[in-house]
Amino acid sequence: MQILTRAELEQHRCEPCRDGAVPCSQAQAEKQLEQLAGWKLVDSGRRIRREWKVKNFLAGLEYFRQVGEAAEDAEHHPDLHLENYRNVAIEIWTHSIGGLSVNDFSLAAKIDAIASSLGLK
């Protein structure tokens, strides 16, 4: 997997993985995560996750609405978690290959842009 800059990740268009595609290595994932502050590897390096605290429950729902639109546009769907009414978390991986692909990091960059537009850190 080629390591992309944050700007390249935001511009990348998710594409379905081809038959026989394999997930990126943990070393590749760690290197790519250098472009995405706040995201971390979870599930033995097969997923990436980031957490935020939002102002209130409705702010969390609005954030997820916008993330949902971006995910639907990319045809790449993350797991969304809302706990204790204002703690939100998102996990991303490529289901078809059971691990991480460039699509996951691209969606993470787009999610970060949404978070930034809403003032989330």
pLDDT in tens, 19-78: 778 999 999 999 999 999 999 999 999 999 999 999 999 999 999 999 999 999 999 999
DSSP 47-110: EEEEEEE-SSHHHHHHHHHHHHHHHHHHT---EEEEETTTEEEEEE-BGGGTB--HHHHHHHHH
User: Tokens representing 113?
Assistant: 């842009």
Name the 3-class secondary structure at 42: strand
**Model confidence band, residue 79 (pLDDT cutoffs 50, 70, 90):** very high
Q: State the pTM of this model.
A: 0.94
Q: What does the pLDDT read at residue 72?
A: 95
User: Tokens representing 86?
Assistant: 């204002």
